[in-house]
A and B are shown apart, each in its own frame.
Chain A
Amino acid sequence: DAGVTQSPTHLIKTRGQHVTLRCSPISGHKSVSWYQQVLGQGPQFIFQYYEKEERGRGNFPDRFSARQFPNYSSELNVNALLLGDSALYLCASSQGQGAMNTEAFFGQGTRLTVV
């Protein structure tokens, strides 16, 4: 079975540009979360989507947006890129919101470099 897949794996963008990162969850998983991990730090929560609805949002500016599609894949969009947006962006999928569905499976991440 395929795990969580993210694309692209690496990306270099210029300040002010826009970027779209993609995530395909494990088959059968309905929840997708996005995290930003700056080098040397722990991940920071950006968004959670469940059944195509936003269920949680972290402390990130409006330049960050996301959506989830009917097949449960997800996109993270970042507008007007800043140098500080350079990070590893991680996608995690989980089965759902029930008490037993607590494990999040992570993709390999997308390494975004803004120059």
Chain B
Amino acid sequence: AQSVTQLGSHVSVSEGALVLLRCNYSSSVPPYLFWYVQYPNQGLQLLLKYTTGATLVKGINGFEAEFKKSETSFHLTKPSAHMSDAAEYFCAVSRTGNNRKLIWGLGTSLAVNP
């Protein structure tokens, strides 16, 4: 069975500081990994994804994540936080193959302080 653990339900950073949101997964098969962002009262927007190939993945809005198989991690980072980054962030995993349901973490709420 697959599962996702996001460490820290709330993260607060200062504007311009490094953003680090942690995600660990468990999967018995090679996973596809995703980070989504959700702004208040809105749907989910894909930030980036890892399927195969390069383990450092660059996404939108300056975010990136690195797939580390040995650590079963897929942490999300951004060098310099912006006020507009304040949102809920979700890490998700899906299986390769035909069953593409996404298994989600509980989310991390990011606050950016001026």
Contact residues of A with B, CB < 8 Å? 4, 31, 33, 35, 41-45, 48, 55-56, 58, 90, 92, 94, 97, 99-100, 102-109, 111
Number of B residues with CB within 8 Å of any CB on chain A: 24
Q: Closest approach, in angstroms, between the C-beta of A41 and any C-beta of chain B? A: 6
Expressed in whole angstroms, the Cα–Cα distance for A35 and B92 within the complex equals 13
Known contacts A42-B105, A100-B51, then 4 further A-B pairs from the complex at CB < 8 Å, ordered by chain A residue: A42-B90, A55-B98, A56-B101, A103-B49
User: Is residue B114 within 8 Å, beta carbon to beta carbon, of the partner chain?
Assistant: no
Q: Is the Cβ of B49 less than 8 Å from the Cβ of A102?
A: yes
Closest to A107 in B: B43
B18 within 8 A of A: no
B46 partner residues in chain A, CB cutoff 8 A: 103-105
CB of B90 to closest CB in A, whole Å: 6
Give A109's nearest chain B residue, CB to CB: B43
Interface residues as binary, B86-101 with A (CB distance below 8 Å gives 1, 0 otherwise): 0000101010101111
Interchain CB contact under 8 A, A43 and B90: yes
